[in-house]
Amino acid sequence: MSLENSRQFVQWGAERGLATVTISRPPLNPLSHQVKTELLHCLEAIAADPEVRCVILHGAGGRAFCVGADIKEFPEILDGKAAREHAMQEHTLYNRMRYFPIPIIAAIEGHCLGGGLELALACDLRVASAASSLGFPEIKLGLFPAGGGTERLPRLIGESRARELMYTGNPVDAQEAHRIGLINRLVPAGEALAAAEALGRDIAARPGGALRTLKMVLDHGMSMGLLEAQQLSVQGIAELFPSAETQTSIRAFLESRAKRQAGSQG
């Protein structure tokens, strides 16, 4: 994989349509102001590359995907104005991820807590190893997950389970996270990145125009009423059918099917 971007704490590279973004502040990969800024810059660079069709996000070192906000920066945000700016920066990053033009997969190894879990929730899919733990401990500090956790977690796992996780601040292990739908795939310890890459390669092999349109319809349609979302879907499919990429894919499928049928008859 060629290195396309190298900043202080965030790096990314791309190979055969799959980009891998690494947060590198081991051992726990906390989300400092600088890390969030670098993540946004990386996302903009990836979005500008038409060859990339899927993104993997993971944390370096194996002990943590990300443990959330950098506590060392908290003394800087103790007044209301600074706290508001801190939360707005988080929303800017997480919303950019949530509405990114191509799918993002979180590869979770180790701790995924607080803002780190909000980061993972902003991804389309989550793959976690059996050694992972996920949760929102903010309530224990007299805070709450204000970077989208209160909105995204209930929508993903249901209101009752989400309230319990946030009210207690206690994390769940990867097995429980998989059971309640917080993660998509559960893999053995140490294999989250490899499993996410395999899934990412599968997604990246799909037609890029269809992927982007599908993601747009899903992302925006889920915040609309049913009839409005259906109109968005109709518009999307109407734009896809005439495209050269879709027509090429359909022709290839029909030709392959005809060959299989001819072979079976022979």
Q: What is the pTM of this model?
A: 0.92
Active-site residue, from 38, 90, 109, 118: 118
pLDDT band (50, 70, 90) for residue 72: confident
Average per-residue pLDDT for the chain: 92
* Residue 109: exposure state from Cβ atoms within 10 A (0-12, 13-18, ≥19): buried
pLDDT band (50, 70, 90) for residue 116: very high
Mean pLDDT of 253-261: 78
Do residues 73 and 121 make contact, with C-beta atoms less than 8 angstroms apart? no
Mean pLDDT of 22-46: 96
Indicate the DSSP class of residue 140.
Answer: G
**How far is residue 65's CA from residue 113's CA, in Å, rounded to a whole number?**
8
Percent of the chain with pLDDT over 70: 96
Active-site residue, from 38, 109, 138, 197: 138
Which residue in 146, 144, 117, 143 sits closest to 132, CA to CA?
117
What pLDDT is recorded for position 6? 53
**How far is residue 76's CA from residue 47's CA, in Å, rounded to a whole number?**
32
Q: Strand locations in 40-131, DSSP E?
A: 54-59, 64-66, 104-108, 111-113, 125-129
What pLDDT is recorded for position 48? 95
Is the fold of 2-204 the same as that of 208-265?
no
Which residue in 181, 143, 187 sits closest to 162, CA to CA?
181
Assess whether 76 carries a catalytic annotation. no
Q: Regarding predicted confidence, which is higher, 163 or 86?
A: 163
Residue 66 has pLDDT above 50, yes or no: yes
Do residues 7 and 43 make contact, with C-beta atoms less than 8 angstroms apart? no
Assess whether 191 carries a catalytic annotation. no
What pLDDT is recorded for position 1? 47
- The CATH code belonging to domain 2-204 is 3.90.226.10
Q: Where are the domains of the chain?
A: 2-204, 208-265
Residue 20 has pLDDT above 50, yes or no: yes
Cα of first residue to Cα of last residue in the chain, in angstroms, is: 44
- The CATH code belonging to domain 208-265 is 1.10.12
Q: What is the pLDDT of residues 76-103, one digit of tens each?
A: 777 778 888 888 889 999 999 999 999 9
Do residues 9 and 38 make contact, with C-beta atoms less than 8 angstroms apart? yes
What pLDDT is recorded for position 3? 47
